[in-house]
């Protein structure tokens, strides 16, 4: 039985962890784990569409991931470009709108061009909004938000006395989206890994030992069903 509309989160965020371990356990190169993880993305996007979830944010490439071996980073960027090129027609067919957050100008030029093409191509869709966090770091986002606020104050657009939680949120990468209701982390790790540090203040967390390439629609449904059993008090009694 599908969860009731009231128990379905509006916004799901996922830390897609375990691609490397998945590949290692099979004696495969790490990039094969990332390729398998790309298939799990499709499962998750379809599952969110079935459940009428409005926003899905995927932690696809962190700011810290640039420190990985150059060969792996190069392969990941090629995989990202290929994924966007191949999946855009599918996103159009499924009425999915693609968006991205992070320091996107750090991506290789070819990736940036394909990302912009895919975003523009799906801009008219009004189903699920799929947000890719690329070259993203939660601390960097907060720093960039502070710089944006300072510029606004210096230009006289706002008075510093006006700065509050709501105002600051409007200067973050995620200003156009609601905060996540549910955070899913695969691979059993119990940490946020510098992901959406501001936005996850009152988000419900669901951690599964499954590695990301093994994550299916059934696993997504299990997480959403667990979310439906939670009581969200936001600090109240």
pLDDT digits (tens, 9 = 90+) for 52-105: 999 999 999 999 999 999 999 999 999 999 999 999 999 999 999 999 999 999
Could you give the domains of the chain? Answer: 5-137+179-228 (3.40.1180.10)
Instruction: Give yes or no: 219 in active site.
Output: no
Give the model's pLDDT for residue 237.
56
Q: What are phi and psi of 93, to 5 degrees?
A: -65, -35
Q: What is the SS3 assignment for 94?
A: coil
| Exposure string for 1-16, b = 16+ CB within 10 A, e = fewer | eebeeeebbebbbbbb
In DSSP notation, 117-163 reads HHHHHTTT--S-EEEEEEEE-HHHHHHHHHHHHHHHHHTTSS-GGG-
Q: Is 17 a catalytic residue?
A: yes
Residue where the block lists tokens 């379905």:
8
- Greater confidence (162 vs 2) lies with 162
* Mean pLDDT score, 126-148: 98
Residue 7 has a pLDDT of 85
Helix ranges restricted to H, the chain: 19-25, 30-51, 70-93, 109-121, 138-154, 165-169, 217-229
pLDDT tens-place string over residues 150-193: 999 999 999 999 999 999 999 999 999 999 999 999 999 999 99
Query: Is there a contact between 213 and 40 (Cβ–Cβ < 8 Å)?
Result: yes
Q: At what angle do helices 70-93 and 109-121 cross, to 10 degrees?
A: 10
| Helix/strand/coil for 11 | strand
Over residues 118-142, the mean pLDDT reads: 98
pLDDT digits (tens, 9 = 90+) for 3-15: 766 689 999 999 9
Catalytic residue among 19, 50, 65, 144: 65
Query: Percentage of the chain surpassing pLDDT 70?
Result: 96
Q: What's 53's DSSP letter?
A: -
| pLDDT for residue 22 | 97
Supply the pLDDT for residue 233.
73
């Amino acid at each position: 039985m599908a969860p009731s509309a009231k128990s379905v989160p509006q916004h799901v965020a996922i830390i897609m962890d375990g691609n490397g371990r998945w590949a290692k356990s099979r004696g495969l190169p790490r990039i094969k784990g990332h390729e398998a993880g790309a298939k799990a993305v499709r499962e998750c996007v379809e599952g969110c569409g079935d459940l009428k979830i409005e926003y899905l944010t995927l932690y696809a490439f962190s700011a810290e991931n640039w420190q990985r071996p150059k060969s792996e980073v190069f392969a990941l960027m090629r995989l990202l470009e290929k994924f966007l090129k191949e999946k855009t027609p599918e996103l159009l067919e499924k009425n999915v709108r693609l968006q991205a957050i992070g320091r996107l100008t750090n991506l290789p030029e070819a990736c940036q061009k394909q990302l912009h093409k895919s975003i523009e191509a799906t801009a008219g869709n009004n189903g699920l909004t799929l947000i890719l966090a690329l070259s993203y770091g939660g601390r960097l986002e907060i720093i960039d938000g502070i710089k944006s606020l300072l510029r606004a104050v210096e230009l006289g657009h706002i008075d510093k006395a006006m700065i509050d939680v709501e105002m600051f949120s409007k200067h973050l990468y995620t200003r156009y989206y609601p905060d996540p209701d549910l955070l899913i982390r695969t691979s059993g790790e119990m940490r946020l890994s510098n992901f959406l540090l501001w936005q996850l203040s009152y988000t419900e967390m669901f951690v599964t030992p499954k590695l990301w390439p093994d994550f299916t629609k059934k696993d997504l449904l299990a997480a959403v069903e667990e979310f439906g059993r939670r009581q969200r008090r936001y600090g109240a009694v």
